[in-house]
Every structure is written in C-alpha cells, then in structure tokens.
Amino acid sequence: MGATQVHHRTCSICEAMCGIVIEHRDGEVLSIKPDREDVLSRGHICPKAVALKDLHEDPDRLRQPMRRTTSGWEPVSWDDAFAEIERRVADVRTRHGHDAVAIYAGNPTVHNLGAMLGIGDFIRAVRTRNLYSATSVDQLPHMVASHAMFGHQFLIPVPDVDRTQLFVCIGGNPVASGGSIMGAPGFSKRIEALQARGGRFIVIDPRRTESAEVADEWLPIRPGTDVFLLLALLHEVFSSGRVDLAQLEPHVTGIDALRAAVLDFDTAALAARCGVPAERIASLARQLCDEPRALVYGRVGACTQEFGGLSLWLIYCLNALTGHLDREGGMMFAEPAVDLTRAYGSKGHYDKFRSRVRGLPEFGNELPVATLAEEILTEGAGRIRALLTFAGNPVLSTPNGRQLDRALAGLDFMVSIDPYLNETTRHAHLILPPASPLERSHYDIALSGFAVRNVARYSPPLFDKPAGALHDYEILAELTLRLGTRAGTGRRSARIRHWIAARLGPEGQLDLMLRTGAYGAEYRGWTKLLAALPGLGALRRLLAAPHRKPRGLSLAKLRTAPHGVDLGPLESGLPRRLATPDRRVQLAPATYLKDLARAAEALHRSSPELVLIGRRHVRSNNSWLHNSQRLVKGKPRCTLLIHPDDAARRGIADGTIVQLRSRVGEVEVSAEVSADVMPGVVCLPHGWGHDRAGIRMAVASRHAGVSINDVVDDQRVDALTGTAVLNGTPVEVLATAAGP
C-alpha cells in the first residue's frame, strides 16, 4: 500500500469554484475537504464537492465509446466510432447540406479547460447555422445587454459583494446555487459579513428562498413582472431628480431617450402589476440613491422570463444611474488573468440571421434552443437531420422535453460526447465518453471573469487517465479534423491551429494565455512568432494589447501556488474596457427601446391564476448529479410547492399526488403545501425526470422525480433575446385520486 497523498484543486461543478483538498492513496480518493487557504473560497465547500469522488468511481459512467444497435448498446473502438461519424455526417451533408447538422453544447463546457479551448474550432469545423447551447435557457439576457451597452458579450458586471452595503438580489438564489455570474463561494458568509458591517441584503423573489431566509428583507414579486418593478424604480430615480452617474458621467450616452421612455409609464400601474407596494418601490429607489456602496444584481429568475432581455438591461441602467456601476461596492467588472473580453472571445453580434421555423434572432451565431425541436420536426429545406451534443442534456433542461424526445428519436444521426447514457444521449447512435474530471487539468478560463475577486488557480490532473481513454479536448480535436471542410474557416488554417494546439496541449495554450494576459510574465519572442501565423488574429490582437499590471504570471508560477494566486479586489475598468464603437456606455439601445412597447402592452394584462416557477437545491446540479447516492438520499426533493390558500381551494394536502398541467404537457407529482411560495405560484425543481426508458443511471432511476420541462412551454420565449421563458408558465393543478 502506497502513502496517503494530498492534492489541491478547484471544484469544477459550479460557478463558486471552491478550492478543495483531496486525500488519495493508490489511485483511490480517500476524502475531499475544503481548502482553508484557497484565495477565493477560504474554506468553503458544499456537499456536491464530494460527488467528484462519486462521479469518478460511478460504475454507470461510460468508459469507452458505445454504439446503439437493434439489440442494444455495444462498445466500439475509438477508430471505428470516429470513422463512422465522419462517414455519416458527410452523408447527411451531401444529401441535405451543412445546416442539416446541428450542435448543442451544454453547461459543463464552461467548467472544462480543454473543452473551452477546443469547442470554438469544433463549431467552426461543423459550420452550421444550427448552433444551440444552454445559453438560451440561462444567461443570454446578460450577454445581449452587455453586448449592446458595453460592446462585448462577456463584459458582464458582477457584484462587489465583499465591499457593498446594500445588495439587492433579483431572481437569484446564491445561497443554494453558489452564485452565478458571480463567483462567490461561501456566499452566506459574505452576507453575514455584510450584515455585520451594517449593510443590508434584500431578496426579490416569488419564493422565500434559502437566500431570502438569510436576507434582511424578502420582497415577493409576481413571476415575470420584474420589468415593471425596474421601470418603477427608474421612474422614481428620474422623477425625483436623483440621477447620479458619478465617474461615468462623461462616458454614457442615451440618457435622455431612456428618461423619456421610462417616464412614459404610470407608476401606480407598474406597482400594481408586479405586486410590490408603490411606497416600498419608492423607498427602495431612495435607498439605492442614498447608499454610496449599493448594487442591484439579477440572475436566472430575472433572465428566463417573458421580459428577461428588458429586465437585465434595466438592472444595468439602474446601477449606472444610481452611481453604482464600475464603482467599489457596486456592480464591477472582474479583470481575470485570461481575459475573454480582450482577445480570445468574440464581441458578439445580434440578429444577423433568424431561425428557419419561428424567425427567432441569432446571438453570436447561436439560435435559441427553445426552437431546436421544431427545427428537427418541421419539414422543408434546412431541416435538421443530425445532431452533435456536447456535455448537454436538453431533454431535461430545455422546454417541452417530450417534444424534443420525439424529435431526437427521428434524427438520421446523432452523436453525444458525454459520460452518461441519459435522457438525451439514449437517442444517440454513438456516445463518446471523456475521461473523468479528476484525470484532467483544470483552470476556469470562462468563470474567473465573473469572480468577485481577481484570482488565478490551476489544478493538475489528480490521476492519469486509463490507457485508451480520451479527454474532451482530444475528442473535439479529432472531430474538428474529421468534420472540417475547405469552406468556412478553411481547412488549412484549422489544420495549423490544430497542429499548434496539439503541440501545446491545454497546458501550453493556457501558459501562453497567462503570459500574454494583464498579469503575465515577461513578453517572449516566441509568442511573437506564433502571432504571425495565419488564423491567429485573436492572438495577434492580444499581443498588441498593453500589459497592465504584470505579476509574472505563468503556468509554472501557478504550479507553485496550490491555493491559487490572489490578484486583488475588483477594480474600476471603464471607460478603458468599453468595446462600443463610441467607447461610451449605451443606456438606450434602439432594440431595447423598441421592446418596451411589448412591456407597455402587457402592463394592463391580467395575471394567470396559477403560474409555475423553478428551484435549485444545494445537493443537485441541473440534471446530472442524481446518480450519486449521497446527493439524492433523504426525503424526495422533487415536490410541487403550493401556497396553503391555493392548496385548500383545490382540496390538496401535504403529500397529495397532483396533476400539474400546461398547454404542452402534464406530470404527476407530490404536493408540498408551503407559505414560502406566494399565492398564485407553484414551484418545482428542474433536472429531474429520470424515469425515461433506456437510461443507464441506476441511482437516478430509483429517484426519478418528474421533469418540469415536460410542462414548460417551448413557444414562450422572450421575444427580444430568444431566451426560453422557464419561469411563469400558466398551469393548472388538480388533486388526483391517489391520496397522500
């Protein structure tokens, strides 16, 4: 027996990015504990960290490529799998054209260094208009607003939680979720510290969430009506003459147009529609104006609703107009060591083309996933015939999952790059499973850009991958080569890039990015040479950018810092970092002003009697952690919360099996009567529904639950951004014969 060893790494499950310490011996994980010296998480972890061991050891995790045959799944060699994919994709392209091959990329992509480095080339190689991802069921309104207002889709402000005195949280539950577009591990402790220094935490949410529980105030709001609350808050700021742009004054444009648009609305009607008392709205606006260190933060609940686009825009405007944008204690911009806003990531674009069936706008070459099933099912030129999924489970994660199930079952060809045979991948003809997360290196290239402190942390692989296993980036690289065409990016530049990437590997590329970043080591002659190669325009731009505060950062330096390197608190970055053509913050982009007409029209509409919202639990992560026994044990969590008044009216008691119905579908689920949801609102978690036939996740199947997205309506999208309306679905709830 070998000696017990200690390994430091960053947990890659959620955006909190906690530092963990893993004790291991002879290739076995003995324990997973918090790293008290981690520069960001300072000793915080949640129960999901231990699931890294369960994932690694899970007998259901696929360890070799699988092919679906008429007599079931059988293992296949990598060579045969890749050859079959090349042949069948070519066949679909010959018969139906390039756009007939679609891609869906799921959430774990952004938590994966190799995937982040490889997915762009893969997408360019497939060269399709039918690109979809979890973005349009998540943060798309943030990206569209950042693109329109600040000029770059990834220049998204994050709460300076550690220095603020007033934190207003709209449609986020960071105590349970760990925070999102806000890397703030140990969020509850940060709120305790805020309260200890005399600050206040206010939660605006239809449910008294775990975050509302620790807040100084919970303001219930009718689902989907945040746009009206935000208009009312801005109305108060404008009409009371309290606009204070602070240091941003010379760097904004559009304030007059915004003022005129906002003052057009009637405050009494706005308050009545959202359900927050008019006096409280006015006093909240005053609080925001009076407090020098305050911020308004909005997240998933604010995004995935009918007016998600407008809501996120108005949230940024409200921060700007009360002097809280890009200022200490307000909403600030992280400046990470690898900065996607400087060179690597595209700035983004909007509405360059529209989806075939429903005419929804693209964003950054992507189409809204709410229309994926229609694009597969609707006949005609341009119909999707083949699908490649990467780290995604859209059957459970996107609206009208039953329809998507039917659509996927009818595809000519489907490939899933995924470690599990689950609700989505069961439809694939081939599943290509990557090596375990503990067998690869890690660096949060994307999410470090949204952390509440600038830090850089690298984790080497804990274990060697088994012989014959491939990492995600290796699978993507092989497919990039095999599916790349002469057109599009051009096969030659793809080859050169591939050659360089293969030589450097994720580590080499990361090192290059670190060295050329704002905190990088000395400029090196060889990076100049690389910059001269074709197809590397981004790199060239990057090398031309001035170094701001060199700290000698390199991969070698990170390797000697197991707890990470602290690069300091958030700092003001505007106007330097603005990427708009006039280098000003655009307060009133035309697309947004135009969309206000839609809100004005909806202002006097009456609310449906009962609407459905979602929830997250600290022991889940979307749809894919339910195969860990320690995470699903205890009483079933997939229950429908219903207010006592709504329950009584329908003869529903705690534990009654109810039928939950919407326009698109129905599920049967156990009711949990609770005054924690507002009257008129029912609440079900997402990511469950593991009772579908043919999945290979033994534990999850025994704790199946039902999928909220079997009830969420795919036809309801935020018209501005195309984001799915996951919250606020009109529903009916009926008691069934089956008793408690």
Ligand X SMILES: Nc1nc2c(c(=O)[nH]1)N[C@H]1C(S)=C(S)[C@@H](COP(=O)(O)OP(=O)(O)OC[C@H]3O[C@@H](n4cnc5c(=O)[nH]c(N)nc54)[C@H](O)[C@@H]3O)O[C@H]1N2
**306 CB-near residues (< 8 Å, 6+ apart):** 224, 602, 716, 718, 725, 728
Q: Is 39 in the site for ligand SF4 (CB under 6 A)?
A: no
3-class DSSP assignment, residue 188: helix
Query: Taking CB under 6 A as the criterion, which residues in 196-255 touch ligand X?
Result: 204-207, 209, 221, 223-224, 226
Q: Is 15 in the site for Mo ion (CB under 5 A)?
A: no
To which residue do tokens 């939950």 refer?
660
Q: Is 106 in the site for ligand X (CB under 6 A)?
A: yes
**φ and ψ of 563, to 5 deg:** -95, 5
CB 456, CB 564: distance < 8 Å: yes
Q: Is 299 in the site for ligand X (CB under 6 A)?
A: yes
Shortest gap between Cβ of 16 and ligand SF4 (angstroms)? 4
Cis peptide before 575 (omega within 30 of 0): yes
To which residue do tokens 């593991």 refer?
690
Which one of ligand SF4, ligand X, Mo ion, none is in contact with 322 (Cβ closer than 5 to 8 A by kind)?
none
- As a whole number of angstroms, the distance between CA 727 and CA 223 comes to 7
Q: Is 161 in the site for ligand X (CB under 6 A)?
A: no
Closest CB to Mo ion among 138 and 713? 138
Closest CB to ligand SF4 among 42 and 547? 42
- As a whole number of angstroms, the distance between CA 419 and CA 589 comes to 42
Shortest gap between Cβ of 107 and Mo ion (angstroms)? 5
Q: Is 16 in the site for ligand SF4 (CB under 6 A)?
A: yes
Q: Of the listed pieces 296-304, 485-493, 535-543, 562-570, which binds ligand X according to CB under 6 A?
A: 296-304
Shortest gap between Cβ of 625 and ligand SF4 (angstroms)? 9
DSSP 284-300: HHHHHHH-SSEEEEE-H
Which one of Mo ion, ligand X, ligand SF4, none is in contact with 709 (Cβ closer than 5 to 8 A by kind)?
ligand X
Q: Of the listed pieces 2-10, 166-174, 549-557, 582-590, which binds ligand X according to CB under 6 A?
A: 166-174
Shortest gap between Cβ of 693 and Mo ion (angstroms)? 27
Neighbour count for residue 272 (Cβ, 10 Å): 16
**266 CB-near residues (< 8 Å, 6+ apart):** 603
**φ and ψ of 450, to 5 deg:** -125, 20
3-class DSSP assignment, residue 382: coil
- As a whole number of angstroms, the distance between CA 591 and CA 252 comes to 17
CB 431, CB 425: distance < 8 Å: yes
Sheet holding 66-69, edge to edge: 72-75, 66-69, 430-432, 413-417, 386-390, 101-105, 131-133
Shortest gap between Cβ of 13 and ligand SF4 (angstroms)? 4
Which one of Mo ion, ligand SF4, ligand X, none is in contact with 185 (Cβ closer than 5 to 8 A by kind)?
ligand SF4
Q: Is 121 in the site for Mo ion (CB under 5 A)?
A: no
CB 455, CB 469: distance < 8 Å: no
Which one of Mo ion, ligand X, ligand SF4, none is in contact with 226 (Cβ closer than 5 to 8 A by kind)?
ligand X
Sheet holding 217-219, edge to edge: 217-219, 200-204, 166-170, 294-298
Residue nearest to ligand X (CB): 301
Closest CB to ligand SF4 among 178 and 614? 178
Closest CB to ligand SF4 among 17 and 542? 17
Print the binding letters for residues 126-165 with Mo ion: x by CB under 5 A, - otherwise: ------------x---------------------------
**Residue from the set 7, 9, 24, 48 that interacts with ligand SF4 by CB under 6 A:** 48
Q: Is 683 in the site for ligand SF4 (CB under 6 A)?
A: no
- As a whole number of angstroms, the distance between CA 585 and CA 574 comes to 9
Q: Is 149 in the site for ligand X (CB under 6 A)?
A: no
Query: Taking CB under 6 A as the criterion, which residues in 665-694 touch ligand X?
Result: 686-687
The CA radius of gyration of the chain, in Å to the nearest whole number, is: 25
**Residue from the set 9, 11, 137, 642 that interacts with ligand SF4 by CB under 6 A:** 11
Beta-sheet pairing, 252-253 with 585-586 = parallel
List C-alpha distances in Å: 698 to 37, 108, 146, 422, 424. Answer: 37, 22, 42, 11, 16
Q: Of the listed pieces 331-339, 401-409, 569-577, 723-731, which binds ligand X according to CB under 6 A?
A: 723-731
Shortest gap between Cβ of 163 and ligand SF4 (angstroms)? 22
Shortest gap between Cβ of 447 and ligand SF4 (angstroms)? 10
- As a whole number of angstroms, the distance between CA 453 and CA 163 comes to 11
Q: Is 415 in the site for ligand X (CB under 6 A)?
A: no
- As a whole number of angstroms, the distance between CA 653 and CA 637 comes to 17
CB 473, CB 115: distance < 8 Å: yes
Q: Is 480 in the site for ligand X (CB under 6 A)?
A: no
Token pair belonging to 508: 């080499």
Q: Is 273 in the site for ligand X (CB under 6 A)?
A: no
Closest CB to ligand SF4 among 52 and 610? 52
**Residue from the set 712, 720, 725, 731 that interacts with ligand X by CB under 6 A:** 712
Beta bridge partners of 28: 25
Measured in whole angstroms, the distance separating CA 230 from the mean position of its chain's CA atoms is 23
Beta bridge partners of 444: none
Closest CB to Mo ion among 210 and 511? 210
- As a whole number of angstroms, the distance between CA 410 and CA 556 comes to 50
DSSP state of 185: S
Which one of Mo ion, ligand SF4, ligand X, none is in contact with 313 (Cβ closer than 5 to 8 A by kind)?
none
Closest CB to Mo ion among 138 and 366? 138
Q: Which residues bind ligand SF4 (CB under 6 A)?
A: 11, 13-14, 16-18, 45-46, 48-49, 178, 185
Q: Which residues bind ligand X (CB under 6 A)?
A: 14-15, 106-108, 112, 134, 137-138, 170-174, 176-178, 180, 204-207, 209, 221, 223-224, 226, 299-302, 305, 390-394, 397, 417-420, 422, 434, 437, 472, 613-618, 620-624, 686-687, 708-709, 712, 726-728
